[in-house]
Structure 1
């Protein structure tokens, strides 16, 4: 079950971070060998899976990798959700053997998670969606929120390391926007950012991500999609202000026109 109706992989959306239900830690997209179980009944869906990161699990030495070993960088995930005709919701928990598997975060949080330390991550997420029965002026809505807590194996870790991080997003999209076959959408949120540090200091890691798009169905096989995106403080706490070194300003604004061919 995927608890969102915001398009992804259709050639319209721009930022991949806004296709992960507001919880990139829990929906981390780790790829590799693993096992999964899924049960569905009367709209309810329960899923359980384990995946070993492809970069580390292929080695034969369990000290360097392997499946379900100390250095596997494995991810265990449990999700329960419900799908109705027009709406759905889900709660998810993922255990990440290495926090470096979180795909999108501020540079400050990524730097903390990327350190070669003995630590793991608990990633929680809540997501829901609603879509109208027929396309029109009322958009389909998807929203999600994520919370991550770091498990440090010992206390010999600097106080500046991230102990808690969060993320969220809200997205809307319209099918048959103005003209049948065209589509439009907008999503806003915050990529994974530090909310607490090990030393209990207050981080300055806030950021926002935003995207807009409009897809023109030129022919049955060609879609033309102008889009824009905005990132505020993607470096997070590493955005230096030249004085205190924490609360500076750095923004990115961009646009693109994407042409998608289908055969």
Structure 2
């Protein structure tokens, strides 16, 4: 509302904006004019009877400092509680309108002086508005963003099952072969309120039958690809939304365990080489189970509590398995500071009944932590974790330590290395668990990521896996190229 309108519709405020004449009989127009033009003040502090607690203090202060059209009595008082006459109100209104006119004339002079610059700015704004309008007209959705990642891997390794000379008679095509594989992921992230998230991920790849698609040599980028080479499938479908200030709920037909945890207790990058090192050292506890599920977490002042339930995705496809007969239930307590974090978690797994076998349940627990320097330096980030479970009625263990140097040798690049339990190859797909009566085997990886551009990176890597049960050790190398868009 403009100043003139405010003064007209707010007579109560006018009573605070000018002092009252002694009486109507003593009032004359000369006195009013004198009041409006003299005794002007420049600061509200000049009035001895105006306090910050007065209801119109801020309004009066604005009029004094912005327009300078408020006067006081010679004794330094304002007498804002007194009633004012219509003549005094008219005089005050006239003085303020004169000041507004002066301001308007000054603005006109400035506009004339910067006429050319203003015209250029107006043209740019009009151009931006046109481009924004064109984008809005051509985008497929006003609520959805598309982002993706395409990865190509050229490399090879000795297949631990068929790499030995005595086993090559099986003629397995994966033995000691060099392969060229790909993985493409497209995320459609939708928000309806600005705070929620509906994620739909489409995924396709051809790692399944390669050396990097099974056993301990599985790559992280190949993990949980949908079945079938070169087939596009739904890899994620879940909805996440806040409840109040501290709670977040998640549910979906295809949601992974870590999608429902308030924090991930590792700074070792998820986009690493071997899948073994993506479980924060606690392979059974952080199983990264994928399927239908729901979860809830609470976060406040760095602390978090998470609960997640995931039914194995096979439960929705196999009539022999019910949704409540093959699942994992996880509880996690964590704390995340600015550059370090720690979490303890427990997972109960029920593997259901398969073709008449008795149900097999597993208890597992893990503790994982990380620390990373606040600024890139010669000192790396450190991630470590250890896990335990009672699978097959024994005490089984896993662990890992991962290091990463940010801006290694060149800004934007990264150097990383990890060592941890390799587990038993071919033993029910455990991929990183030492069984109680098994040999302690190790896996090691070393990689360097060249950040070619903000969206393209090239990562050469080598790895070594010590196998037991008579299988040959595995040595491999690769070059991974990643495109993010």
Kindly provide the CA deviation profile for residues 94-132 of structure 1, in whole angstroms up to 9, marking residues without a partner as x.
Answer: 0010299xxxxxxxxxxxxxx944321001000000000
Query: Runs of 5+ in structure 2 lacking a partner?
Result: 1-262, 422-431
1:179 to 407, 410, 419: 410
Aligned pairs for 1:1-263 within 5 A: 1-9=263-271, 13-58=272-317, 64-68=320-324, 72-98=325-351, 116-150=357-391, 161=392, 163-190=394-421, 191-195=432-436, 203-233=437-467, 236=468, 239-240=469-470, 250-263=472-485
Deviation at 1:29, TM superposition (A): 1.1
The CA distance in 1 between the partners of 2:433 and 2:438, in whole Å, is 13
Give the TM-score taking structure 1 as reference length.
0.76
TM-score, length of structure 2 as denominator length: 0.42
Contact 2:343–2:369 (CA<8 Å) still a contact in 1?
A: yes
The 8 Å contact of residues 30 and 75 in structure 1, kept in 2 or not, is answered as: yes
- Superposed displacement of residue 225, structure 1: 0.8
Structure 1 residue ranges, 4+ long, deviating more than 3 angstroms after superposition: none
Partner of 1:246: none
Unaligned runs of 5+ in 1: 101-114, 151-160, 196-202, 241-248
* Secondary structure in 2 matching 1:194: coil
- Do 1:131 and 1:140's aligned partners in 2 also have CA atoms closer than 8 Å? yes
More helix by share: 2
Q: Provide the rounded CA distance (Å) in 1 between the counterparts of 2:358 and 2:474.
A: 32
Structure showing greater radius of gyration is 2
Distance 2:417 2:352 in 1: 29
Residues 1-56 of structure 1: CA distance to partner in whole angstroms, max 9, x if unpaired? 100111013xxx21011011001101111111111010001110100111110102
Q: Verify the 8 A CA contact 2:352 2:359 in the aligned structure 1.
A: no
**Larger relative contact order (Cα-Cα within 8 Å, sequence gap ≥ 6):** 1
Aligned residues: 211
Partners of 2:383 and 2:415 in 1: how far apart?
A: 14
CA–CA distance in structure 2, aligned partners of residues 262 and 18 of structure 1: 22
1:98 and 1:205 map into 2 onto residues whose CA distance is: 25
Structure with a larger share of its residues in strand: 1
C-alpha RMSD of the superposition: 1.9
